[in-house]
Amino acid sequence: MKVSVSITVNGRQYQRDVEPRLLLVHFIRDLGGVTGTKVGCDTSQCGSCTVLVDGMAVKSCTCLAVQADGASITTIEGLTTNGKLHPLQESFWNKHGLQCGFCTPGMILASHGLLKNNPKPTDEEIRHGLEGNLCRCTGYQNIVRAVREAAAVMAGK
């Protein structure tokens, strides 16, 4: 049995017939061909697949494609507007907040969600806010600095 869903990814609408068990992350990657979002685990711990679902940061492996029917998704590719990097993309670059880059799309979008709810987080709040996203390269040190910088830049807007 397949179900027809319509999901907007980065402003483009994708109408597809999907198995009800299909996870949102696989809809985005395999049916949408938008591969910036990563799959790092199978137990919803790593956060590599974090995207924005109607503006809210969600691990896209915790959500079925059918549940996202009608939703608007923003992935890492959609964070750049007219070739201009989002302040979080800039700050991760500026602060060396990534090494291998695999966790980075999810980490940036989780940070996006964090700053939406708490535009001026303390370091401790940043650390707690990102506890659902794993990084094996950076020890999180420069990720915290990056989010701190982005918060300042975004507050200055």
Partner 1 sequence: MATRIFGSGIRRREDPRLITGTATYTDDFTLPGMVHAAMLRSPHAHARIKKIDAARARKAPGVVAVFSGPDADSLAAVPCAWLLPNANLKIAVYSALCKDVVRYVGDIVAVVVAETVSQAYDALDLVDVDYEPLSSVTNPEQANKPGAPQLHPDVPNNEAFHWVLNVGEVDAAFKNAEVVVKDRIVHQRLIPNAMEPRAALAQWSGASGELTLCNTTQNPHIVRFLMSVVTGVPEDRIRVVAPEVGGGFGSKIAVYPADFLTVFCAMKLGRPVKWNETRSENFQATTHGRGHIQEVEIAAKKDGTILGLRATSWSGMGAYLSTAAPGIPTILHGLMLSGVYNTPAIKEDVYGVYTNGTPVEAYRGAGRPEATFMLERMVDKLAAPLGLDPVDVRLKNMIPRFENGHAVATGLSYDSGDYPGQLKKLVDHIDYKKLRREQEEARKKGRYLGIGIGTYVEICGLGPSQVAGAIGFQGGLWESAIVRFHPTGKVHVFIGASPHGQGEETTFAQIVASEIGVDVNDVKVFHGDTDVTPMGWGTYGSRTTAVGGAALILATRKIKEKAKIIAAHLLEAAVEDMDYADGKFFVKGSPDKAKTIQEVSLMAHVAWNMPPGVEAGLEASMFYDPPNFVFPFGSHFALVEVDPETGQVELKRYVAIDDCGPQINPVIVEGQVHGGVVQGIGQALWEEAVYDDNGQLVTGSLLDYALPRADMLPEIEVLSTVTPSPHHPLGLKGIGEAGTIASTVIVYNAVMDALRPLGVESLNMPLTPERVWRGVQQAQQQKRN
| Residues of this chain that bind partner 1 (CB under 8 A) | 19, 21, 26, 29-30, 33-43, 45-46, 48, 75-77, 79-80, 85, 89, 92-94, 96, 98-105, 108, 123-124, 126-128, 130-131, 133-144
**Amino acid at site 48:** S
- How many angstroms separate the Cα of 130 from the Cα of each of 29, 90, 143? 23, 18, 9
Nearer to partner 1, 68 or 95 (CB): 95
Nearer to partner 1, 70 or 136 (CB): 136
Nearer to partner 1, 124 or 156 (CB): 124
How far is it, in rounded angstroms, from Cα 23 to Cα 17?
13
Nearer to partner 1, 8 or 94 (CB): 94
Looking at the DSSP assignment, which residues form a beta bridge with residue 16? Answer: 5
Q: How far is the CB of 95 from partner 1 (least distance, A)?
A: 9
Nearer to partner 1, 42 or 157 (CB): 42
How far is it, in rounded angstroms, from Cα 149 to Cα 45?
26
Phi, psi of 148 (to 5 degrees): -60, -45
Q: How far is the CB of 56 from partner 1 (least distance, A)?
A: 19
Q: How far is the CB of 133 from partner 1 (least distance, A)?
A: 8
How far is it, in rounded angstroms, from Cα 37 to Cα 93?
18
What residue spans of 37-140 are helical by DSSP H?
87-94, 104-117, 123-129
In sequence order, the 6+-apart residues with CB closer than 8 A to the CB of 67 are 24
Q: How far is the CB of 130 from partner 1 (least distance, A)?
A: 4
Q: How far is the CB of 147 from partner 1 (least distance, A)?
A: 10
